[in-house]
Amino acid sequence: MMKKIFKRLMIIIILLFLIATLKNKSSFFDLNLAKFSNVFNSDDYSSRYIYVLDRENKSVEYEKNSRKRAYPASLAKIMTTIVALEHIDDLSAVAPIDVETYRKMVENNASMAGFYGREAVTYRDLLYGTILSSGGEAANSLAINVAGSTQDFVQLMNEKASELGLEDTHFTSPEGLHNKDQYTSAYDMAKLLDYALDNGDFRAIFTKKTFKTTSTMDHPDGIVLESTVLSKLDGISEEGFEIVGGKSGTTYEAGECWATLGVKDGHEYICIVMGATLEDISNPDMAQREDTVKLYERIKTN
């Protein structure tokens, strides 16, 4: 009888030991699985919305919340520029700076290209001022010279968005100042940029680092415009890739946003990053730049 009891106790002890051992092994496995996942977890980006597109085969390299609506800030000027280009016959024609919207941009502390009210610049100057310097006065003057009013131009922007199938995009202004009814998505912005880059004039503007505007009475020596994206890449390591063009967008509501064109192993890629939190607009931390560089580095090419 005692032997049977002893055997049963031994069996229970062994079973308890095995259970404890398996539990510890399970915890060890779970811990290492988590570590393994973290090694391959590339979602260590500050940007809340991301979309990386291979332009050649239209394959998606990476995406994060890409179909969720987000505020575009000055990325809206990508649509402003391509719509204007499709309605301008002569880029050298004079298109003066509109005074009323110029004053509005000054009042709203918008980014400016540096033109003056009524300055007799050309369409080409306005286009470069819109993309490179993200000038609010340039974008609105483009709109008014093309369509007669910003309202009518915005209608053209939204018609183009519908034509391109941008289902999560709606514009309320050419310059991109914050409005709760102005929104897009990283996916839509990539689709728009992919379309716009097929336009030779747009591509030339988008990939230019600096541009000198024509001589006017207000600026006899012209104005040197500088890309708000390419100028921020000086001294930044681009191992195995090159960012050749871009457009920035920054408001507190939209956060820090970049839309860029990069080349890696002969392939062109579009990288959209939006929604990196902005603490101080006067001293941005450039989290969108860090995300963009990291994303290009991680693209796997054949």
Is 247 annotated as ligand-binding?
Answer: yes
Among 151, 175, 143, which residue's Cα sits nearest to residue 247? 175
By annotation, the residues acting in catalysis are 74, 77, 134
pLDDT, tens only, 8-54: 655 555 555 554 544 443 333 333 333 333 332 457 999 999 999 99
Residue 60's SS3 state is strand
Burial of residue 80, with CB atoms counted within 10 A of its CB: 0-12 exposed, 13-18 middle, 19 or more buried: buried
pLDDT band of residue 85 (cuts 50, 70, 90) is: very high
Q: What is the mean pLDDT of residues 76-85?
A: 98
pLDDT, tens only, 176-233: 999 999 999 999 999 999 999 999 999 999 999 999 999 999 999 999 999 999 999 9
Among 130, 21, 119, which residue's Cα sits nearest to residue 83? 130
Q: How many CB atoms lie within 10 A of CB 99?
A: 14
Sign of the torsion formed by the C-alpha atoms of 82, 228, 70 and 125: negative
Q: How many CB atoms lie within 10 A of CB 197?
A: 19
Q: What does the block give as tokens for 266?
A: 């002969």
pLDDT, tens only, 162-180: 999 999 999 999 999 999 9
pLDDT, tens only, 261-285: 999 999 999 999 999 999 999 999 9
pLDDT band of residue 143 (cuts 50, 70, 90) is: very high
Rounded distance between C-alpha atoms, residue 79 and residue 132, angstroms: 14
Q: Are strands 49-54 and 224-226 parallel, antiparallel or unpaired?
A: unpaired
Residue 196's SS3 state is helix
pLDDT, tens only, 231-264: 999 999 999 999 999 999 999 999 999 999 999 9
Q: Are 51 and 190 a contacting pair, CB within 8 Å? A: yes
Q: Are strands 267-276 and 255-264 parallel, antiparallel or unpaired?
A: antiparallel
Domains and CATH numbers, the chain: 46-298 (3.40.710.10)
Residue 50 — left, alpha, or beta (φ > 0 → left; ψ -120 to 50 → alpha)? Answer: beta
| pTM listed for this prediction | 0.86
Per-residue confidence (pLDDT) for residue 22, from 0 to 100 = 44
Q: Are 261 and 206 a contacting pair, CB within 8 Å? A: yes
Q: Give helix 76-85 / helix 123-131 axis angle, nearest 10°.
A: 160
Residues facing 94 on adjacent strands: 122
Among 238, 283, 229, 236, which residue's Cα sits nearest to residue 264? 238
Q: Is the pLDDT score of 288 beyond 70? A: yes
Among 150, 116, 113, 153, which residue's Cα sits nearest to residue 134? 113
Q: What does the block give as tokens for 298?
A: 């991680």
Rounded distance between C-alpha atoms, residue 278 and residue 255, angstroms: 5
pLDDT, tens only, 108-120: 999 999 999 999 9
